[in-house]
Every structure is written in structure tokens, then in C-alpha cells.
Amino acid sequence: MSETETPEALTSTQPALVVTRPGGREVLQVQDRPVPEPGPGEVLVEVAAAGVNFIDVYQREGVYPMETPFVLGKEGAGTVRVLGDGVEGVSPGDRVAWAMTQGTTAGWATLPAGSLVPVPDEVELETAAAAMLQGMTAHFLVTDCAPIGEGSVALVHAAAGGVGQLLVQMVVARGGHVVATAGSEEKCAIARSRGAAETIDYTAEDDLEGAIAEAAARLGAPDGVDVAYDGVGAATFDASLAALRPRGVLVLFGGASGQVPPFDIQRLNAGGSLYLTRPTLAHYIARREELLRRGQEVLAAVASGELDVAVDGRYPMTEAAEAYAALEGRTSTGKLLLVP
């Protein structure tokens, strides 16, 4: 370690949220673990809040295989306390946030200095933790995957969810129009409050494809939507494909309802020379300058009030299973946080 701000704040052990083996929420345990030491190029951060995300569920269940036991969590915000050797551009006391860095749902975490984004003074650390992973995801979807411009018409599934509420706001902020789906009338009302022009409760709809087509036509897209942003996956994939205009783009970015099975690529031809991509945030923040630009744009939009991050629940780490139950059981709207 080369520089320490408050060594007295450090204890020898700290609580961390551990996945003991692949499985359901019963495999989650809060364990006392040694406080990690930052290696060269790393910093030790005191974690203020950690984000609850679907990728944690995929890792816990083994959909994304991980060697167990492992510390869960890929998102958070906190205060830099100790610098490892060779770290430049970060100082003890700095307020920072991160996403897609493994093992950070803990009291303290070591992170590569290059994975940190500075948090503006106006943004609370908890809000920053809530904004990073879902916010940068919504950001790369609307700016790079299928860019939204003035008059674009987009289909957004699960629009009252964490990514969904941010995605609706970002599409509308760029002059686009949103056909939103969500799992209840209350959730549809949340999507409308975020700017969705049309909403469909897909749990109450017998003809989802027809309802989406009618909604798109009302928004001036009688041939179908320009882009479908689909994080629900198995349950909505067919409707998303059917919703597109010729040469439209299906962005499948998750599988909250289950992973989409292999499909016949000729369906892209028959549907009208369609495009399909299955992106992940890691590839859209892989370069340091892209991470900084994307993270800073999201946090600046939060600071200015242009982007509102809805924190739906704060849980102590010992109640992590309840937080994941809410996410997996479709009862959450917006972001859930774990507070070490």
C-alpha cells in the first residue's frame, strides 16, 4: 500500500455477500472476510451502497458459471481509502462509483483504479450506486446499439423496471417515442410517468403482437417500431421480432423471464431484413475513456435532474435474499440497493 487516508477506519475483517454454491437465494451468506489489500494499480474503497442486478442472479444460479464460493456484486459507490502502488489520478477521500467489477457487495472492496468513475458533488453515493450499471446500460442501448434520434419509435419491455425506467427517459430525452410494456396497470402508470406515450400490460393482453402494432401505428409507425429493447427475453422475444419495421433492430439485452432458445436465423430475412444483437455492458465500457465518458454522462444527467433514478428499496446486506426475491419475483420497480 502506498497511501492511506484513515487507517484507523480499517478493521481486519468485514462483511461480504458470498454465494456458497450455485443455486437459489438460500445459497447467499453474509460472511466475515479479511479486508482485501489493494495490489498494484488497485484501490481499497469503503463501500457506501451496492446495486442489486440480474447479472448477480445469473451468476448465483450458474447461468453464467462462476467458481464458488465467490463474493457477489458488480456495482456500487463509495469512498477511496487506500491506494495500491502505482495508482495515479485517484486520491484517498475521493467519491467514486463503478459497474461490472466483480465482488463488490461488501463493506470494503479492492478495485482497479481504472474501473472507477468520479461521483459529482451533487450526487449522493447511494444514488450513484443506483445509477451506474442500469444507467450505463440504458445509455449504450440508446447511443450505440440502436441509436435513438428525433422521431424514433422504440418498444421497451419491463418499462417500470430498473433499466426500463431509465431507458424510457433516455429515449424520450433524445426525441424518441416509446411503446412500453409492463406487468400491471400500476407499472404501466410508472412507465407513462417516465414519458412512455403508449403502455401495454402484457400480463393482461391476449394478443400482444397486435396491441404493440396498434400502439406503434398510433405513434406514426404503421410498419412497426424502429427498435425493440428486450431485457425480458424468452417471454417477449417473438413479440419483439414481430414488432419491428423492415430493417428494424432487435436488441436482446437480457432474459429476466428466461434465456431465449436457439432460433432459426431465416426469421430475420422473413421479418424484413431485420437486425439482432445480444450486447452486454462490459463490451461498451471496456476502454477507460469510454467508461469515463459513459459514466460521467449518466451521473451528469442525474446531477442536472434530467435523469431520475428511482430507488425502490434499501436493504441491509443480511436481507439480501429479500432484495433478490423482489427483483426475481417482479415486485420491484426501479433500483434495489444493499447497504453494507
| Cβ at position 90, least distance to ligand NAP in Å | 25
Minimum distance, C-beta of residue 167 to ligand NAP, in the bound complex (Å)? 9
- Please compute, for residue 30, the number of CA atoms within 13 A of its CA located in the half-sphere on the CB side: 15
Contact between 249 and ligand NAP per CB under 6 A: no
Q: Is 255 in the site for ligand NAP (CB under 6 A)?
A: yes
Q: Is the peptide bond before 65 cis (omega within 30 degrees of 0)?
A: no
Residue in 36, 73, 76, 183 binding ligand NAP, rule: CB under 6 A: 183
Task: Report if residue 295 touches ligand NAP, rule: CB under 6 A.
Answer: no
The rounded distance, in Å, linking the Cα atoms of 273 and 95 is 47
Please report whether residue 61 would count as binding ligand NAP according to CB under 6 A: no
Helix, coil or strand: residue 16: strand
Please, what sign has the CA dihedral across residues 317, 319, 322, 326? negative
Region 185-214 residues binding ligand NAP, contact defined as CB under 6 A: 187
Which residues fall within 8 angstroms of residue 74, CB to CB, at 6 or more apart? 51, 53, 55, 56, 99, 100, 101, 102, 104, 133
Residue 253 engages ligand NAP in binding (rule: CB under 6 A): yes
Using CB under 6 A as the binding rule, whether residue 340 contacts ligand NAP is answered as no
Q: Which is nearer to ligand NAP, 35 or 200 (CB)?
A: 200
Which residue is associated with the grid cell 435513438?
148
Distance CA 81, CA 93 (A): 6
Does 271 interact with ligand NAP (rule: CB under 6 A)? no
Report the distance separating Cα 271 and Cα 16, nearest Å. 48
Query: Of the candidates 48, 155, 160, 179, which one interacts with ligand NAP according to CB under 6 A?
Result: 160
- Tell the smallest beta-carbon distance from residue 161 to ligand NAP (Å): 2
Task: Name the 3-class secondary structure at 238.
Answer: helix
Binding positions for ligand NAP, rule: CB under 6 A: 53-55, 133-134, 137, 158, 160-164, 182-183, 187, 231-232, 235, 253-257, 279-281, 327-328, 330, 332
